[in-house]
Structure 1
Amino acid sequence: MRAHLTYREPHGWTSPVDCLPSREAAEFLRNATNALTPSAASRRTWEITDCTDEDCEAAR
C-alpha cells in the first residue's frame, strides 16, 4: 500500500505531501533525510499515513 510522508516545522510550516510506493519507502526517506540534516531533524515532526486513493494527487 502506498504511503504519504510529510513533516512540520516548529513555526507551523508543513511540507508538501509526498506519495511513496510503501510505508517502508516513506520510513527510508524520513530516516535518510534525518541522517543528512541532523539539525533539521531535531526540530521536525514527521507524519506517515496510508494512501488509500490511487488518484490522491500528492507528489509522486
Structure 2
Amino acid sequence: MSRVHLTYTEPHGWTSPPDCVADRQAAEFLRDATNALTPSAASRRTWTITDCTDENCEARR
C-alpha cells in the first residue's frame, strides 16, 4: 500500500490543503463520508486523489 493525498476544489478555484492518508481506500472512505455528512458541499466539490511520493511529506495526516 502506498500513501495518497486527498484534496478538493471549490467552484471558485480554492483547493484544500492535502491530507496524506494511508491508501486509496482510506481516501475514498473519507471523501464518501464527507460527502454524506455535507451534501450541499458535496454537490459543488471536485475531489482529487493523487499518489504521495514522499513518506515524510508535509501534508496533514
Alignment TM class, shorter chain as reference: over 0.9
How many angstroms apart in 2 are the aligned matches of 1:53 and 1:13? 24
Question: What is the TM-score with the length of structure 1 in the denominator?
Answer: 0.95
Q: Which runs of 5+ in 1 are unaligned?
A: none
The aligned counterpart of 2:41 is: 40
Partner-residue secondary structure (3-state), 2:33: helix
SS in 2 for 1:39: helix
Alignment of 1:1-60 (within 5 A): 1-60=2-61
Aligned-residue Cα RMSD (Å) equals: 0.6
Aligned residues: 60
Moved over 2 A (4+): none
C-alpha separation between the residues in 2 aligned to 1:52 and 1:8? 21
Question: Equivalent pairs: percent with the same residue?
Answer: 80
Shift of 1:54: 0.9
- If the length of structure 2 is used for normalisation, what is the TM-score? 0.94
